């Protein structure tokens, strides 16, 4: 399994988006939204959420900052429910967090998807050249 590719699409007037069909098939029946760094929404299949919960279960009460981080991350997780047409409602919380407007971008990022406001995504990509990307990940 793996998510890749960049898909430009739009949110409708009722704040719903469609995860591209090719990607939705990989996500499976149950998937989740959560906050991600740099102001995007992460879309996690059940298996990835299970890995995240397992990793965060190691956080104990001994470090208040880690406990707060765990709370912030897991507190943002919401199970997504599709309607009959395969659309999902993007809540106010996530729209505001990611500054989503009408134009959105869904990007495959290996084991998860990311949903970006088009403007934010384009700004992020302008900051990173392809040559620099290859150099940073050393491939």
The one-digit pLDDT tens for each residue of the chain (139 residues) are 689 999 999 999 999 999 988 888 888 888 999 999 999 999 999 999 999 999 998 887 788 898 999 999 999 999 999 988 889 999 999 999 999 999 999 999 999 999 999 999 999 888 877 788 788 877 7
Predicted local distance difference test score (pLDDT) of residue 9: 95
Which of 91, 110, 76 is closest to 16 using CA atoms?
91
Q: Which helix (H) or strand (E) holds 10?
A: strand 6-10
Q: How far is CA 39 from CA 96, 99, 100, 131, 136, in A?
A: 9, 8, 10, 24, 21
Task: Map out the domains of the chain with their CATH numbers.
Answer: 6-137 (3.40.1550.20)
């Amino acid at each position: 399994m793996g998510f890749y590719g960049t898909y430009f699409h739009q949110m409708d007037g009722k704040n719903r988006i469609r995860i591209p069909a090719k990607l939705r098939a990989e996500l499976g029946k149950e998937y989740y939204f959560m906050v991600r760094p740099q102001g995007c929404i992460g879309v996690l299949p059940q298996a990835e959420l299970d890995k995240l919960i397992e990793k965060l279960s190691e956080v104990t009460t001994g470090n208040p900052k880690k406990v707060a981080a765990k709370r912030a991350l897991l507190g943002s997780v919401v199970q997504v429910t599709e309607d009959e047409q395969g659309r999902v409602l993007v809540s106010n919380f996530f729209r505001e967090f990611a500054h989503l407007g009408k134009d959105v971008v869904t990007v495959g990022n290996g084991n998860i998807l990311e949903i970006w406001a088009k403007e934010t995504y384009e700004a992020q990509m302008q900051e990173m050249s392809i040559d620099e990307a290859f150099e940073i990940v050393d491939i």
